Structure 1
Amino acid sequence: MANRMEINDSLFLKSISCPLKLYHAKKSTGLRKPYLPFKQRNKLQLRNAVALQYPNIKFTSDSVSDALLETQKWLKEDDVAICGAVIRENIFLTRIPILVKNGSEFTIVQIHGKLKKRIHQGEISVPVLSKTTAGYLVKAAYRMEVLRKVVRSSKLNVELFFPDKRYSARMPELMQQIPNTESENLIVSQNVKEELASLFTKMEATEATESVRLAIPDSVAHSFAAERSVRDVMKDLVSENWSDGSHFNVEVHQECSRCKFRKPESDEISDCWGEFFSGKNKTFPNEQVFELIGHGNQELIEAGKYFQEDVPLNQYSSSFEEVKRKNQPAITIQQRRELQFLSAHQKELPSAWVKPSRLGFESLSFPLHFIDFEAATYALPMQRGGGAYSPIYFQYSCHSLFENGEIVHHEWLDDKVDSGYPHVEFIRKLGAIDSIFEGSLIQYSPFESQALRYLLQEMERNSMLYENEIRILKNLLYVEGNTNEHRIFDLSKSVREGYYNRFMSGSIGLKQILKSVLQLVKYLNIPMDETAQIFDTSINFGMLSNDDADFDPYRLLQHPTYQIDDGEATMNAYISLKSNLLTPKEIQIIPTLMRRYCAMDSYALYIIYSHINKLINEFQDLNGVIIDQV
């Protein structure tokens, strides 16, 4: 194999899902995404929680080369459990979460986050029916194959650990009981060991892994690897000519939808669809069928239609007037899909299309409280009685708009390592916001109202103790606590049914709509409150442009090293914070980034609401803006 490439667990899995991924990986200099420190630390904490079940635990270094030498040294011992064991054979490398050696017998231990009940007497059944489980086993089979060649042992076992779906914590703050230093010995109480043993269910997977090793399931593999043995595929990976990808004759398949090479993020990443699927000949190469909203994408792929501009309009509306003449009460998903086709065919579209009757703004009353909550779900619960992945609501941001135009920001974050379970303080701080029990609460998606109902149910389990918190929650959810009159308004429903602009694509998520609104405002030269304070950072929204990653204000709130730009990053940062996995320097930086992110989310609601309200009240005569009264 020219220009030898090291193939690790991740790259092996990529190569069996589509051989072109390995071809592009060889070409791309920007293959690795920015390191996700918090998510990785949280995964290692779960690994450590399982490792407590084994004696003589050793921890390898972060450095792969150092870990390889450490693994070789420790495998000379008769009985050892190596966390992060690195095994290399030829170009193949694997890092095993826990490798247990007992004499001449070896056990590969993998920890997975999916909830599972103990079934089939604690053994993964053969044949493997679940696609997700098949993916776990392919990774185990690859590790088994590499390990077999190195240790020369036939006694190889595989064990998979999962959080038990039936688990209920008997102690509080379990996530904070796992040692955060990878020392030679993890010292925890016997009670914690027993608690963790009840949290995880162990599934014997040796036989199932062996069956996958001999025949990779087609549910997780491209035809290049399907039903072939892991050993034979590895031989091909060594001998194959990866300098030319055309001879694989790969067709577009469902896996393409999740592939980073389909729409490269930068010039350093190879462009698969540009090279192999005529993307370089297209007017809009990034407008692919996977970005279409609604149903029917798979049928288009099967018909060989990969780009939106390739789909003929004869089976859809051929103009915006045709779309509009369908006279639906709301803007439907099908109409949005047709508007995407029209855009790809460069047909004339309105700058904005609004149906005020579907917005529901007339039901709102001042002050308007634009709210955003952040939550964490983690296998290690914080509270007694909680199960794996019980939600923890740890942060909110609220921008309150008063009738005189004043906007006031309130926010709260559970940012102390030792502050304990945060729900009571979350409720009390939320209830202390000025005028929060007056006017309307505005969310984007049902998440916030669901959170308040979850908290209400939790507090009502001990209603005598939490009488005040119950009152706060009922008054947040309902007008004066009357369950017949809801206070929370879902702005996402207004957007979905009553608003469209020419810069919207296949998503109506908050960040995508915010970007499209900022683009439209600039395109139409509509005045807006250009500068706003987002927690501690001033952003000039009027200066945003395509140079700022497609009008993305979140980009301007980041730190050079750390990125907190979505809910997953925020969640993992919080879990690392509460588990005492952050450095002192990070403790100074990370909470600020979390506050900026949450504040931007609630301010985004204000921008979207204000923009739509201005269109229908002040700019409805603007050229290209259609206010549809149907």
Structure 2
Amino acid sequence: MSNLKKRYLTKSRYKLGLECPNKLYYTKKKVYSNQKLEDFFLQALASGGFQVEELARMHYPEGILIEDKKSDETYNYEDKVNQTTKLLENNDEIVIFEAAFCFENLFIRVDILEKKGNQINLIEVKSKSFDSTNAEYEFEGKKGNLSSSWKSYLFDVAFQKYVINKAFPQYNVKPFLMLADKSKTTSIKGLNQLFRITNNNNNRTGIERRIHTLTDISSESILGKVDVSRETSGIETGKHRIIEEFDFEESIQILSKTFKEDKYYNYPLDYSSCKSCEFKTNGEADSNSKSGFKECFKKQLSWEEPDFNEPNIFEIWDFRRLNKLTETGELKLKNIPDEEFGEVKDKDDKMSRVRRQLIQKHKALDNDYTPELYQDELKDEIESWTFPLNFIDFEASVVALPFYEGQSPYEKVVFQFSHHIIHEDGKVEHANEYINVQPGEFPNFEFVRELKTALEQNVGTVFQYSSYENSTLNQIKQQLENSAETDRKELINFIITLTTPPRNYAGSPWLPIRPLVDLRKVIVDYYYNPYTKGSNSIKAVLPAIFETSELIKSKYTKPISDINMTSKNFGDNHVWLRRKEDGTIEDPYKSLEHPFKDWDPEFERKSEIEEINNGGAALTAYGLTQYTDMDDKERGEIKNALLRYCELDTLAMVIVYEHLKEITEDKYKV
């Protein structure tokens, strides 16, 4: 079989096969939709993985990189293996980056390989964090089971060790993970700014270093190397498994054969895995793609297209018995008795989880799109709120490499907020906003100062959607406690007026005098709209309200100037809700203006983002402003798009409130 046609099982494909062997048939085929198949460059940018990999290489300044040749039109597996083999044969001691090994149709590249005589240290670099001060049970719990959050990483390392051992049995291979150590801090100011994103770098990471040596690794780097020999040994002996019926070597042989022959494995459906399958189509965006998810059900359950339109258990919010249903083979709601959902335990006049699930089930089966409402209880909740009402939304980045000296990995960087106010007379005001996208500036403390100024203008109730704002402010509180800011006590005192302490908080607890109200929890407790299909995300609740509320549609299909409202980023003639040709309402997030729609094509852009209409895109956009050498004009376009997106987020909360208030009125009949 030629190099062009040979199908290699790489470490990423091996991990995919462990998730579900059937996925190996769908991966890397353009005809199948893949919801996880996003731009690899932007994914690594958001996670900080490329920066961490480059920092890891700086631990080994003598390392030699096995580079990709520019002339290669296809991926040349054999050339990379030959380069690696020559380096190992000609050097008794050597460090190689991206060393390549092949055995049969198994192929791996090792992040960092250190050879000392017949000893090989295999070092897998991950941007994932751990705490070296509590590492004894980090990967393997006290009962001897692998942690679920580390399992795939450890099987990845074990697979690499297996391939090296098969290709070069004369070497003794010792496996390590190199990770961001949360117990470490860096003595380098602006560490994350010293690794710049560039698309012109021959290096796979696409990073250009602004720092070339580490003087003192122990104080400057936040990475730690962990010996995982015990864990990989447990994998090799079959003690630890992901697919229970396969021991380690069987899993490699079976998945290798499956991928090599390009055949559908027909592994039995596991509903927990199926629910999160990435090989699904997503509406109009995937209209020309095939669904591997559907093909599995057609092959194994003999489903036809109409079967997929019937209500099924995957739609049910927070359903926790998928494993049991996998055993019975039931999936359609009409075949699942109410008893399978568990016992209904209503309390405090709120909609319990099981009650909500059963409401969803029966409305779906009856094709009933009328919202379910605990009207009196919701009315009591709303009447407990104090005007003016404040709605806040944050955007933050969690970066692997710290901004300032003395900071640890993955300290949250909060770069933006939006603040809407509803006054008692009904006026909606986009009152305040904050954003900082200047590269290298740590915004958190100024962020809190600006938020304090905004919220202290009144004593009204403050709303969040989910607990994200609460947890974010608590993290900034901890940063302030470790800082030398002259006003840190004042800022901390402001934070604790709003937030509740984290669960299992070790310090002295506090009781907020103006606690954040979680609108998502209000939805969950008192209201179910069948158009959400069980999702409580604001991105699902908002369009459901557009389907349900004539009041909201009537108001927001008018220009801003006509509806007693102000906006900081949209003109008076802007209309929030636009009707499509068929008369339905367009999702306002989808109609957000693209940041570079009027960009002069003669000016080269450094960023690769086309729209900012969700949290992932906002995070990526912020990363681009920090790690890419773009000019102020390009950064300004991204900044303006972020401001528009964040304003829409708090306006969405306003609309949710207005709808909830509407449906508590006596005249409202569900």
Mark yes or no: TM-score above 0.5.
Answer: yes
Correspondences of 1:88-103 after superposition (within 5 Å)? 91-102=105-116
In the TM superposition, residue 255 of structure 1 has moved relative to its aligned partner by 2.2
Q: Helix, strand or coil for the counterpart of 2:108?
A: strand
Question: Which residue identity does 1:97 align to in structure 2?
Answer: D
Per-residue CA deviations over 1:552-596 (Å, capped at 9, x if unaligned) read: 433333569525444344345434543x24655864554344333
Correspondences of 1:588-603 after superposition (within 5 Å)? 588-603=636-651
**Residue pair 2:17, 2:255 contacting (<8 A) in 1 also:** no
Distance 1:56 1:396, change over 3 A: same
Correspondences of 1:150-549 after superposition (within 5 Å)? 154-178=171-195, 187-188=211-212, 190-191=214-215, 193-197=217-221, 199-206=222-229, 208-209=231-232, 212-213=235-236, 215=238, 217-218=240-241, 220-221=242-243, 223=245, 225-229=246-250, 231-233=252-254, 235-237=256-258, 240=261, 242=263, 244-245=264-265, 248=266, 250-261=268-279, 266=286, 267-270=289-292, 271=294, 272-280=296-304, 282-285=306-309, 287-294=311-318, 295-313=320-338, 329-346=349-366, 348=368, 350-358=370-378, 360-404=381-425, 405-419=427-441, 421-433=442-454, 436-456=457-477, 458-459=479-480, 464-466=486-488, 469-470=491-492, 473=495, 485-486=513-514, 488-521=516-549, 526-530=553-557, 535=569, 540-543=576-579
Per-residue CA deviations over 1:446-475 (Å, capped at 9, x if unaligned) read: 332343344345445657544554565467
In the TM superposition, residue 607 of structure 1 has moved relative to its aligned partner by 1.2
- Is residue 576 of structure 2 the alignment partner of residue 555 of structure 1? no
**Residue pair 2:140, 2:147 contacting (<8 A) in 1 also:** no
> Following the alignment from structure 1 to structure 2, what is the Cα–Cα distance between the partners of residues 286 and 82?
54
In the TM superposition, residue 513 of structure 1 has moved relative to its aligned partner by 1.6
Among 3, 21, 39, the alignment partner of 1:35 is: 39
Q: Which runs of 5+ in 1 are unaligned?
A: 318-322
Q: Helix, strand or coil for the counterpart of 1:416?
A: coil
In the TM superposition, residue 391 of structure 1 has moved relative to its aligned partner by 2.4
- Is residue 6 of structure 2 the alignment partner of residue 8 of structure 1? no
- Is residue 103 of structure 2 the alignment partner of residue 76 of structure 1? no
Q: Helix, strand or coil for the counterpart of 1:554?
A: coil
**Residue pair 2:176, 2:229 contacting (<8 A) in 1 also:** yes
Question: Which residue identity does 2:454 align to in structure 1?
Answer: I
**Residue pair 1:179, 1:187 contacting (<8 A) in 2 also:** no
In the TM superposition, residue 4 of structure 1 has moved relative to its aligned partner by 5.7
- Residue 23 (structure 2) aligns with: 21
Moved more, 368-377 or 160-169: 160-169
Distance 1:383 1:337, change over 3 A: same
Question: Which residue identity does 1:555 align to in structure 2?
Answer: K
Question: So what's the TM-score if we normalise by structure 2?
Answer: 0.76
Question: Which residue identity does 1:76 align to in structure 2?
Answer: K
Question: Which residue identity does 1:193 align to in structure 2?
Answer: I
Question: Which residue identity does 2:327 align to in structure 1?
Answer: E
Q: Helix, strand or coil for the counterpart of 2:150?
A: helix
In the TM superposition, residue 44 of structure 1 has moved relative to its aligned partner by 1.1
Among 113, 116, 132, the alignment partner of 1:117 is: 132
In the TM superposition, residue 173 of structure 1 has moved relative to its aligned partner by 3.2
**Residue pair 1:167, 1:387 contacting (<8 A) in 2 also:** yes
> Following the alignment from structure 1 to structure 2, what is the Cα–Cα distance between the partners of residues 534 and 545?
29
Q: Helix, strand or coil for the counterpart of 2:419?
A: strand
Question: Which residue identity does 1:46 align to in structure 2?
Answer: V
In the TM superposition, residue 608 of structure 1 has moved relative to its aligned partner by 0.6
> Following the alignment from structure 2 to structure 1, what is the Cα–Cα distance between the partners of residues 327 and 7?
33
> Following the alignment from structure 1 to structure 2, what is the Cα–Cα distance between the partners of residues 409 and 160?
48
**Residue pair 1:11, 1:22 contacting (<8 A) in 2 also:** yes
**Residue pair 1:263, 1:286 contacting (<8 A) in 2 also:** no
Distance 1:313 1:452, change over 3 A: closer
> Following the alignment from structure 2 to structure 1, what is the Cα–Cα distance between the partners of residues 634 and 64?
27
In the TM superposition, residue 251 of structure 1 has moved relative to its aligned partner by 3.3
Distance 1:552 1:100, change over 3 A: farther
**Residue pair 2:372, 2:527 contacting (<8 A) in 1 also:** yes
In the TM superposition, residue 290 of structure 1 has moved relative to its aligned partner by 3.3
Distance 1:534 1:498, change over 3 A: farther
**Residue pair 2:415, 2:435 contacting (<8 A) in 1 also:** yes
Distance 1:192 1:257, change over 3 A: farther
**Residue pair 2:321, 2:341 contacting (<8 A) in 1 also:** no
Question: Which residue identity does 2:353 align to in structure 1?
Answer: I
Distance 1:381 1:241, change over 3 A: closer
**Residue pair 1:399, 1:606 contacting (<8 A) in 2 also:** yes
In the TM superposition, residue 226 of structure 1 has moved relative to its aligned partner by 3.9
Per-residue CA deviations over 1:294-322 (Å, capped at 9, x if unaligned) read: 443333333221232331357789xxxxx
Per-residue CA deviations over 1:329-379 (Å, capped at 9, x if unaligned) read: 222222210022113322545345242433522133333221001223233
Distance 1:442 1:211, change over 3 A: closer
> Following the alignment from structure 1 to structure 2, what is the Cα–Cα distance between the partners of residues 122 and 487?
36
**Residue pair 1:309, 1:344 contacting (<8 A) in 2 also:** no
**Residue pair 2:33, 2:279 contacting (<8 A) in 1 also:** no
In the TM superposition, residue 139 of structure 1 has moved relative to its aligned partner by 1.3
Per-residue CA deviations over 1:378-410 (Å, capped at 9, x if unaligned) read: 332224443332222221111222334142253
- Is residue 182 of structure 2 the alignment partner of residue 140 of structure 1? no
Distance 1:355 1:552, change over 3 A: same
Identity within the alignment, %: 20
- Residue 129 (structure 1) aligns with: 146
Per-residue CA deviations over 1:176-212 (Å, capped at 9, x if unaligned) read: 3446676898844545633344x23212234643553
**Residue pair 1:117, 1:201 contacting (<8 A) in 2 also:** yes
**Residue pair 2:186, 2:220 contacting (<8 A) in 1 also:** no
Q: Which runs of 5+ in 2 are unaligned?
A: 501-509, 561-566, 597-607
> Following the alignment from structure 2 to structure 1, what is the Cα–Cα distance between the partners of residues 440 and 96?
31
Distance 1:47 1:494, change over 3 A: same
Distance 1:100 1:307, change over 3 A: farther
Among 19, 30, 46, the alignment partner of 2:52 is: 46
**Residue pair 1:284, 1:309 contacting (<8 A) in 2 also:** no
> Following the alignment from structure 1 to structure 2, what is the Cα–Cα distance between the partners of residues 184 and 249?
44
Q: Helix, strand or coil for the counterpart of 1:543?
A: coil
- Residue 567 (structure 1) aligns with: 615
Correspondences of 1:568-583 after superposition (within 5 Å)? 568-575=616-623, 577-578=625-626, 580-581=627-628, 583=630
In the TM superposition, residue 259 of structure 1 has moved relative to its aligned partner by 1.4
Count matched residues. 603
> Following the alignment from structure 1 to structure 2, what is the Cα–Cα distance between the partners of residues 235 and 476?
54
